[in-house]
Amino acid sequence: MPHRPFSLEHFRQRLAHADALPQLVILGILSGLMAGGLISLFRSADTLLHIWLLPGGTERFEELDDLHRLLLPVAGSLLLILLFACVPAHARSVGIVHMLERLANYEGRLPAFNLVIQGIAALIALASGHSVGREGPAVHLGAGAGSLLGQRLSLPNNSLRVLVGCGAAAGIAATFNTPLAAVIFAMEVILLEYTLIGFLPIMVAALVGDIVSRALVGEALVFNAPELSIGELTQLPLIALLGLLCGLLATGFHLLQMQVIKLKHWPFPVRFLLAGLLTGVVALQWPEVMGGGYDTIESLFNTPKPMLFLAGLLLAKCLLTPIVIGLGIPAGLIGPTLFIGTVAGALLGAVGALLAGTAHTGLYAMLGMGAMMAALLNAPLAAMLAMLELTQNTGIILPGMLAILVANLTTRFGFGLPSIFHASLQRQGLDLRQAPLAQILSRAAVGSLMQRDFASTPAQITLTEARQLLQQAPHWLLVGTGSRSVLMPPADLRQHLDSLTEEHDGLSIDLLSMPARRADLEPLLYRATLKEALNRMQKKQLDYLLVVSNQDEPLGLISRQQIEEYYNRKQTLS
């Protein structure tokens, strides 16, 4: 069997199918390399800015004097105002919510300029001590790397969706060095589905992203956590109470941020400056609220703190972070979420130690970290795996499952709240949850079904040309060029020719006016998914679409019946 050379066009054609696993794995490797390199650059810039600005190095905002703690966030806000004033309004949309909106409305086509703005703005926010994390920007940057790869190669839109998931997972893995949690996060929060076709390329991307970041800049976030376990089952009620506490805190966080988002009609200079002032004022009393607070998280794992200090810090972070993010500071909330859960766990552990002599408060700090993440992001499995990978402590699996279960039930079913990212989208009138029909049809592009058995012809042809056309035995005739193209069955042309006598041989035929059955057509790019095709048909009340190339050259035909049969077949197989 002769060897078939690699062809990018053949590669694209295979990706149009829902089962193009080898091709998607290759793309997963490439997106992991790109995302890992981009996040490594982002992490290096963040570290260098912290070393330059902070006397104690990375995250050591506590070592700043009062004046610098007050002015640094304000200065950061002023820089953000200057940056956003220099770019058009559409380029200011950044973060996970922006990425999800592009995934829902634009098939995952993320603009490159927004990625640049995201990277610069996040570095300013993080270096100036705003109460935000670097994980949200990392997800956007990683997803953007995957999306730009697909756009550059002109890949079908069904593969772009997977590439966004690949890039996002690689971004999280490169930021946290938690590849398994990154995979589940991409499936639970971004793609909202678990499929083998999606799982394997995303796993490869997360693995490659993690390896690249470790090779380029070293380990990202490794907590020096003690080996702790519950010891006795009598502690389970207190752990369940911790889950309830985190669920309530997540609910309050969620509702407060949604209320503050309503202020988005305020000019962004006012919002950013207000965020900087609030952060600076709060940091005068609790400097630990500045930045991601990973140094504080690690200290709470190992050393008990006074309950009054923990209570004040918890209240400050719970109020400041949703306000700052709701006001539009362009960075993430996952890091602060881990911080809040850790402080809540340490506080409840301290209360338990005082009243009942429970285990080390560090255990509850670890459990609270996972419970808060699960409750706010509605991602219980990703939170469980993140907790395990960050602490490298398998002794917290049983209590961690209980805390996460109770926390997630509290927000999801007790208060009916979705993920905070999806709630932000719902405020814009969008809902990422797809019906089974949309899910199945989003996994394949029109190139996987389109019929190529057609013959193109102008409307005006001679009888000789008509007979030559029928000798090709096409399944359809594509009649017309330019603004109007219609489908016509060859049998109608044959019947018309049979009705003519030899004396008509010198005449021409107008295929658009002769008696025949015709179906109107609309052009559709070959990259479109079957879901996009069906939506176009329903909107235009058509039964057929003409699949075209980037140069508007006809490539094939796709019908409503083909799409319905494909869906029914996939439903039967599942």
Question: What per-residue confidence (pLDDT) applies to 1?
Answer: 40
Residue 186 lies in a domain: yes
Report the 10 Å Cβ neighbour count for 148. Answer: 20
507 shares a domain with 407: no
- 366: which residues sit within 8 A by CB, 6+ positions away? 225, 228, 301, 342, 345, 387, 391, 393, 396, 400
pLDDT of 20 strictly over 90: no
Regarding whether 487 and 391 lie in a shared domain, the answer is: no
pLDDT of the residue at 503 = 58
- Both 520 and 567 in one domain: the answer is yes
pLDDT per residue as tens digits for the range 100-126: 989 888 888 999 999 999 999 999 999
pLDDT recorded at residue 483: 60
Q: What is the mean pLDDT of residues 235-242?
A: 92
Final residue in a domain of this structure, among 221, 246, 263: 221
pLDDT, one tens digit per residue, over 172-228 is 999 988 999 999 999 988 888 777 778 899 999 999 999 999 999 988 766 788 887
Of 159, 194, 221, which residue constitutes the final position of a domain? 221
Mean pLDDT of 70-95: 94
Q: Residue 435 domain-assigned?
A: no
| The pLDDT value given to residue 432 | 61
Q: What's residue 557's pLDDT?
A: 92
> Is a pLDDT exceeding 50 seen at residue 2?
no
pLDDT at 5 exceeding the cut of 60: no
pTM score of the predicted model? 0.87
* Beta pairing, strands 523-525 & 544-548: parallel
pLDDT (0 to 100) of residue 502: 61
Looking at the domain assignment, is residue 130 inside a domain? yes
Q: Which amino acid is at 462?
A: T
Q: Which of 36-40, 339-343, 379-383, 484-488 shows the lowest per-residue confidence on average (mean pLDDT)?
A: 484-488
Residue 481 confidence class, pLDDT cut points 50, 70, 90: low
Residue carrying the six token digits 């600005």: 53
Q: What are phi and psi of 356, to 5 degrees?
A: -130, 5
Q: Are 567 and 194 in contact, with CB atoms under 8 Å apart?
A: no
Residue 80's pLDDT band (boundaries 50, 70, 90)? very high
What SS3 class is residue 548? strand
SS3 content of the chain, % helix, strand, coil (to 5): 65, 5, 25
* 422, 307: one domain: yes
Q: For residues 449 and 417, state if they share a domain.
A: no
CATH number of the structural domain spanning residue 523: 3.10.580.10
Q: What are phi and psi of 301, to 5 degrees?
A: -65, -30
pLDDT band at 59 (very low <50, low <70, confident <90, very high): confident
**Taking a C-beta distance cutoff of 8 angstroms, is the pair 143, 168 a contact?**
yes
Q: Rounded to an integer, what is the distance from CA 493 to the centroid of its chain?
A: 51
pLDDT average, residue stretch 436-451:
82
Range of the domain at 198: 8-221
Please indicate, yes or no, whether residues 164 and 260 belong to a single structural domain of this protein. no
Q: How confident is the model at residue 430 (pLDDT cuts 50, 70, 90)?
A: low
| Residue 432 lies inside a defined structural domain of this protein | no
Count of domains forming the chain: 3
pLDDT tier at 494, thresholds 50, 70, 90: confident
Least confident of 203-207, 353-357, 566-570: 353-357
Mark whether 409 and 456 lie in a shared domain. Answer: no
* Residue 569 reports pLDDT greater than 90: no
* Contact between 436 and 531 (Cβ < 8 Å): no
Q: Would residue 177 count as lying in a domain?
A: yes
Contact 441, 531 (CB under 8 A): yes
Q: Could you tell me if residue 437 is inside a domain?
A: no
State yes or no: pLDDT of 358 exceeds 90: no
Average pLDDT, the chain: 88
Name the residue type at position 1: M
Q: Percent of the chain having pLDDT more than 90?
A: 51
Query: Which residue, of 191, 221, 251, is where some domain finishes?
Result: 221
List residues bridging with 558 in a β-sheet. Answer: 545
Same domain, 276 and 419: yes
User: Residue 503: what residue type?
Assistant: E
Q: What local confidence, expressed as pLDDT, does residue 435 receive?
A: 60
358 shares its domain with 461? no
> 560 and 525, same structural domain?
yes
**112-147 residues labelled b (16+ CB within 10 A) or e (exposed):** eebbebbbbbbbbbbbbbbbbbbbbbbbbbbbbbbb
- Rounded mean pLDDT of 276-300? 92
Query: Is the model's pLDDT at 44 over the cut of 90?
Result: yes
Structural domain includes residue 1: no
CATH number assigned to the domain comprising residue 304:
1.10.3080.10
Give per-residue pLDDT as tens, 119-163. Answer: 999 999 999 999 999 888 999 999 999 999 999 998 998 899 899
**Helix/strand/coil for 304:** coil
SS3 478: strand
Residues 303 and 393 in one domain: yes
Is the same domain home to 72 and 164?
Answer: yes
Residue 434, domain member (yes or no): no
305-344 pLDDT, tens digit per residue, is: 999 999 999 999 999 999 999 999 998 899 999 999 999 9
